[in-house]
Amino acid sequence: MACSVAAIAVVAALAGCADMGRVDAPAPSVGATEAGLPAADAAPVAAVDRQWWRAFGDPQLDRLVEQALQGNPNLQVARARLEKARAAVSATRAAELPQVKGDLQVSRSLYSENYIYPDPLGGSIQNTGLLQLGASWELDFFGKNRAAIEAAVGNARAAQADAEAAQVLLASNVARSYLQWARLAAQRAVAERTLAQREETLRLVRDRVSAGLDTRLELRQSEGGLPEARQQIEALDEQIAIAQHAIDALAARPALAESMTAPALAALQPIPLQPVLPADLLGRRADIAAARWRAEAATHDVDYARKQFYPNVNLTAFVGLQSLGLDNLLKSGSAQWGVGPAVSLPIFEGGRLRANLRAKAADRDAAIESYNAAVFDAVRDVADQVSSIRSIARQQVQQRQAQTAAEGAYEIAVQRYGAGLGNYLNVLAAETAVLAQRRQAVDLAARALDTQVALARALGGGWQGEAGDRQAAAAATSSH
């Protein structure tokens, strides 16, 4: 054993001479300040509720989101990837533990007369048996297995965060599809109101033509507005069907939307969100956490690749029975055992280990830059939604004033036309302005709610942040 210990010491000394080649320093990661986030002592922003969609006050939407979170295939894929990552942690941790295996071999062989076997064994046919229990234990002197475990745990945490991010994205997509349906339903109500209004105008024109106050030109102009209004209704019905199909796909339940009541845009309540950029944004978003964990896992992969240059030290042992002739296998004289260290060190491998180290370093830099990109995209995303919410609120104020004015002008134009003080072109022009304002009012109301959904998602969608990280770490490191 003294010689074995000395051999291990010599090999460890040789490990210090291992040529790893040149590996550049890791790419720098972006912090909160570089990303343009406010100072940490800025006024705190209330966190988004984990079930933020309930703030709309629509029980039908609540049920729809819950159904999607239970049955959406893409979400199930993310959960399956999480289970795979957790299994990889367990498989990697197994390398730290002793490995024990049993071996049973029985064979019947002809022994050569012209080889090493003496008479009477040479030229005879004999049975041989082996019954053995072997064990090995890799002694992780240089931390190679620990680096592999840390990389696997990082990947599992990233998979956990990815699954959380998928839930946030799915909930927001369901809510946005639902709002799109509500917008189209409201636009259809405007189109139906337009059709009814044009039918009333047509009756007025017919009465004036019968009284000899108008010509057939005005009648034809008035009649032409009806097919146009019906065509708009048909086009909206097509878009509503497409929106319903999107909802069915998200919930993974065909024809689900057909059994639902069309949502009323005016009945949906706004989500109480503060339209500001929070200082702690990076800790609120699961996608950023996933990118961070992937970067950390890639860093541990580099450490693992670097430690491939160091010796592998294994302690091996076996105990069992071996005999020539199966009738002797279970006799005490057939016993055998052995124990000792096994040391291996890569000396010449054609640059394979150095190439692997450079590749892992490149993967690490790519993961860090992906994290940086996720940070900048997140800040831009929130800033965009904040700007849109504020702008839409200002637009709605101006639009309501413009709609009031347009509807007043239309009523005057109709009254003047009915009294013979104006022509029909004035009515058409005033009606066009009113219809445009009504459509814009619906679009702005829908955009205001849709942007609130986008802001809730951009702020993390209620992800638990560090608490979620701790939960992921516990799940990833648990034994399966």
65-120 pLDDT, tens digit per residue, is 999 999 889 888 888 888 988 898 888 888 888 888 999 999 999 989 888 888 88
Assess whether pLDDT exceeds 80 at residue 390.
Answer: yes
Instruction: Evaluate whether residue 113 is within a structural domain.
Output: no
Q: Which of 277, 293, 247, 270 is nearest to 458 (CA)?
A: 277
The residue with greater pLDDT, 207 or 163, is 163
Instruction: Evaluate whether residue 142 is within a structural domain.
Output: no
Mean pLDDT of 4-28: 59
DSSP string, 58-116: -HHHHHHHHHHHHH-HHHHHHHHHHHHHHHHHHHHHGGGS-EEEEEEEEEEEEPPTTSS
Mean pLDDT of 370-395: 93
- Rounded CA separation 298/290 (Å): 12
| pLDDT score recorded for residue 43 | 62
The residue with greater pLDDT, 205 or 255, is 255
> What are 323-345's pLDDT values in tens digits?
888 888 888 888 998 898 888 88
> What are 455-470's pLDDT values in tens digits?
999 999 988 765 544 4
Percent of the chain past pLDDT 90, that is, above it, reads 41
Q: Number of structural domains, the chain?
A: 1
Angle separating helix axes 424-458 and 216-251, nearest 10 degrees: 10
Tokens for 408?
């007043």
> What are 18-77's pLDDT values in tens digits?
556 666 677 787 777 877 788 765 666 778 889 999 999 999 999 999 999 998 898 888
Most confident of 218-222, 340-344, 470-474: 340-344
Mean pLDDT of 224-228: 81
Cα→Cα distances 171→45, 66, 175, 200, 339, Å: 22, 8, 6, 44, 59
| pLDDT score recorded for residue 472 | 44
User: What is the extent of the structural domain holding 194?
Assistant: 21-95+153-310+365-477
Instruction: Evaluate whether residue 51 is within a structural domain.
Output: yes
Instruction: Evaluate whether residue 345 is within a structural domain.
Output: no
pTM metric for this prediction: 0.80
Mean pLDDT of 241-260: 91
Task: Return the DSSP state at 39.
Answer: P
> What are 150-161's pLDDT values in tens digits?
999 999 999 999
| Spatial contact of 154 and 289, defined as CB atoms under 8 Å apart | no
Instruction: Evaluate whether residue 329 is within a structural domain.
Output: no
| pLDDT score recorded for residue 199 | 83
| pLDDT score recorded for residue 203 | 80
Radius of gyration over every alpha carbon of the chain, rounded to an integer in angstroms: 37
Assess whether pLDDT exceeds 90 at residue 235.
Answer: yes
Tokens for 301?
């992969």
- Rounded CA separation 266/325 (Å): 91
| pLDDT score recorded for residue 476 | 43
Residue type at 237? Answer: D
| pLDDT score recorded for residue 466 | 55
Instruction: Evaluate whether residue 249 is within a structural domain.
Output: yes
Instruction: Evaluate whether residue 406 is within a structural domain.
Output: yes
- Rounded CA separation 59/81 (Å): 32
CA dihedral 395, 397, 398, 404 (to 10 degrees): 130
Instruction: Evaluate whether residue 288 is within a structural domain.
Output: yes
Q: Residue 160 maps to which CATH number?
A: 1.20.1600.10
Assess whether pLDDT exceeds 90 at residue 388.
Answer: yes
| pLDDT score recorded for residue 374 | 92
Q: Which of 368, 201, 378 is nearest to 277 (CA)?
A: 378
